[in-house]
Amino acid sequence: MAWSIHHVNLEARNVAQTARFYTEILGMTLGAWAFPETRGYLPGDPEKLALLGDGRESHTGLHLIAPDPEFAAKNNMAHNPSIGGHVALQVDDLDGVIARLTAAGVPHSVTGEFAIPGLRHVYVEDPEGNLLEINGRLRPVPAPVRHIVLCQIKPTISQADIDALWAKLEALRSAVPGMGPVRAGPNTSPEGAARGYTHAVTIDFEASAARDAYLSHPDHIAAGAELVAICAGGADGICVLDI
């Protein structure tokens, strides 16, 4: 059975304050939580739930949740993942896991697609009492998209101004589910084939829908206008490719 760690969930009595520690001190980025249409009881208030994505998929990374003693009852579960924290594993055969838990008589809670789009979940405690969330996909993963922007930035533009623009793009991760980290910087290729392009930006998106949401977001449109303004030749100094 193939498996990986999908996320770590930490209990946080003050979610906003705890999230600021991870963003302002550790340098992580807040992500946008997307809820499935079949959402169960799960708080959407940023004071009660936060996602610090690692860029692999839309909800992978670190989750913070406010403890709710009624969470299990509200979702008709025997386990309460909002209290005490848990590790979430992703497996390629969730039905097999459920069958083995059932055969061994291990108590577990099975959910449908109630928290994260495209995933169903099993909650179970290991022999030491550690709570686990085990996830399985409900449908094939959509094809990811890599967004590539080549720029001919004017030599008169300061590095501080360039970095500020990259930061504005990175900030969009808190508004666009499925958007990965912004990787941007000057050309360092030794091949001498840059054809005047001085900088590049790449962003990985979970699917084309996430890319489209990014492109149409007002903050991206504003940042795009700033990029045009600092490039030699304006829009002619920019090349955009998606693969």
What's 129's domain CATH number? 3.10.180.10
Do 122 and 171 belong to one domain?
no
**Residue 28: pLDDT above 80?**
yes
b (16+ CB within 10 A) / e for 209-224: ebbebbeeeeebeebb
Give the domain extent around 234: 145-242
Q: How far apart are CA 156 and CA 147, in angstroms?
A: 26
Nearest to 69 by CA among 77, 61, 58, 60: 77
Q: Is the pTM of this model over 0.95?
A: no
Confidence grade of residue 46 (pLDDT, cut at 50, 70, 90): confident
Do 125 and 210 belong to one domain?
no
Do 11 and 97 belong to one domain?
yes
Do 11 and 130 belong to one domain?
yes
Confidence grade of residue 69 (pLDDT, cut at 50, 70, 90): very high
**Residue 158: pLDDT above 80?**
yes
Q: How far apart are CA 36 and CA 16, in angstroms?
A: 23
| Beta-carbon count within 10 A of 89 CB | 18
The CA-CA-CA angle for residues 53, 54, 56, to 5°, reads 110
Mean pLDDT calculated for residue range 204-223: 96
Nearest to 194 by CA among 146, 239, 145: 239
Confidence grade of residue 57 (pLDDT, cut at 50, 70, 90): confident
Which CATH number characterizes residue 186's domain?
A: 3.30.70.100
Mean pLDDT calculated for residue range 83-100: 97
Q: What pLDDT shows up at residue 142?
A: 82
Do 47 and 88 belong to one domain?
yes
Q: What pLDDT shows up at residue 141?
A: 77
- Provide the mean pLDDT of the chain: 95
Q: Which of 104, 137, 170 is the last residue of a domain?
A: 137
Q: Which of 83, 110, 137 is the last residue of a domain?
A: 137
Confidence grade of residue 78 (pLDDT, cut at 50, 70, 90): very high
Nearest to 126 by CA among 168, 80, 86: 86
Do 116 and 7 belong to one domain?
yes
Q: Which of 137, 154, 180 is the last residue of a domain?
A: 137
Q: What pLDDT shows up at residue 105?
A: 97
Do 120 and 154 belong to one domain?
no
Do 153 and 114 belong to one domain?
no
Do 122 and 39 belong to one domain?
yes
**Residue 93: pLDDT above 90?**
yes
Do 84 and 123 belong to one domain?
yes
Q: What pLDDT shows up at residue 43?
A: 86
Do 23 and 89 belong to one domain?
yes
**Residue 40: pLDDT above 90?**
no
Percent of the chain scoring above 70 in pLDDT: 100
**Residue 84: pLDDT above 90?**
yes
Could you give the number of structural domains in the chain? 2
Confidence grade of residue 189 (pLDDT, cut at 50, 70, 90): very high
Mean pLDDT calculated for residue range 43-55: 90
Q: What pLDDT shows up at residue 231?
A: 98
Do 159 and 187 belong to one domain?
yes
